[in-house]
Amino acid sequence: MKNLICALFTLTVFASCKSKSANHGADSLNVLSPGHDSIAKFKTLLQGSWVTKDYTDDLIKTKSPIASRQYLSGEMALIIENSDKTPDSLKISCRTSIHEGGDTPVSFYFDTKSKSLITKPDAKSGFSELTYQITQHDTSLVMYYHDVKSHIIRPHYYVKAMGTDVSHLYETDAVQTITNHILFTGAYTLIDSTNKSSLVKLTNDGLVIGHPDLKNYFVMTDFIFGDDMGEGNNLDEILFNWYDKNLQKAKFIYKINKDTIKLFADTVTTGKLIPGKLTYRLVKKK
C-alpha cells in the first residue's frame, strides 16, 4: 500500500493552479506557473525536505507531538533532490510512516510539450498534482489528489523543513527538525531544581549550546511501541545525549505552557509514564 500511495504521484504544473491555490488562502502571492523551459529550473525551486502542514499546524496548537501524532501518516514527508547525476529527472522520496522504514523514491521527467513534470499515469488509481505556492507567511507545496476522472479529491499541503542539501537525509530527519523548530529552538534561561540558572540555546538540528552536561537533544515523535527502554509511550519525552557514547544520557517528560518548558523526571508505573520530580525549567528569552 505504501508503494502504491507514493507511486501515484504525477507532478504537473498547469496555468489553472493559480486560481485553485488562491481559493485556499487570501494571502497567496504567487504559484509555480508554466513557462519553465527545463527540469533544472523546477529542481531549483522544489529541492529540499517537506513535511505535511497538517502536522505542523496542529503541533503549533497542541505543543505536543503525541497529541498531533495522527498527522504523521500518509505522505507525511518528502525529500526532493537536485542531483546532477540525474539531469533528465527529479527524484522524490516519500515517507508514509514515522515508525516504519521503506522510503519510496519516485522519479519525474520533464515533458517538453506540456512543460510539466510527469510520471507514467495510473489509469486505475488516478493521479496527484503538485504545485508550488508562496504566501506572505511561508512557502508550501500543494498536492492535489485526483480520481480517475481527474476530479480533485482533496489538497495536501507541505511546508519546507530543511534546506537544499538533503542528499544525506531521511524523511524522518525533516519531521525531527521541524518539531525542534516549533517546540524547542531558541534561547532560554535554564533553571535547575536548586534554582541555579544558566543561559542555553537549543538549535533546529538538535544541539544544546551553553550547558556543561547537556550537549544535544532528541524529541520523541514515534509513539508506536514505546521508547528503546521498553517503557510507556503515553507522554511527550525529550532525550539528551542519547546517541553519544561519551556523554551521560538524560530523559525527561516535558510540558510546554506559553514561554516555559518544564522537564520532569520520568517514572514508569504499570507500563505508563508519569511525571516525576521537576528537574529543569526552560524560560524562553524575549
DSSP-assigned letters across all residues of 178-211: HHHHHHT-EEEEEEETTS-EEEEEE-TTSBEES-
The rounded distance, in Å, linking the Cα atoms of 19 and 21 is 6
The rounded distance, in Å, linking the Cα atoms of 217 and 240 is 4
Give pLDDT, residue 166: 54
Report pLDDT digits (tens) over 100-120: 555 566 666 665 654 556 665
> Over pLDDT 70: what percentage of the chain?
61
- State in words which class domain 2-174 has: mainly beta
Give pLDDT, residue 156: 82
Maximum distance among all Cα pairs of the chain, rounded to whole angstroms = 69
Rg, C-alpha atoms of the chain = 21
Give pLDDT, residue 46: 78
> Over pLDDT 90: what percentage of the chain?
35
- The predicted model gives 181-193 an average pLDDT of 97
* Every domain range in the chain assigned CATH 2.40.128: 2-174
- pLDDT over 70 at 153, yes or no: yes
> pLDDT category, 250, cuts 50, 70, 90?
very high
Yes or no: say if 252 and 266 are a contact pair by the CB < 8 Å rule.
Answer: yes
- pLDDT over 90 at 241, yes or no: yes
Report pLDDT digits (tens) over 207-216: 999 999 999 9
| Of the listed ranges 20-34, 191-205, 253-267, the one predicted with least confidence | 20-34
- pLDDT over 50 at 8, yes or no: no
| Of the listed ranges 57-61, 174-178, 181-185, 201-205, the one predicted with least confidence | 174-178
- pLDDT over 90 at 168, yes or no: no
pTM: 0.78
Residue where the block lists cell 480520481: 147
Question: Taking the C-alpha atoms of 192, 60, 103 and 133 in order, what is their torsion angle to the nearest 10 degrees?
Answer: -140
- pLDDT over 60 at 229, yes or no: no
> Across all residues in the chain, what is the average pLDDT?
75
- The predicted model gives 249-267 an average pLDDT of 94
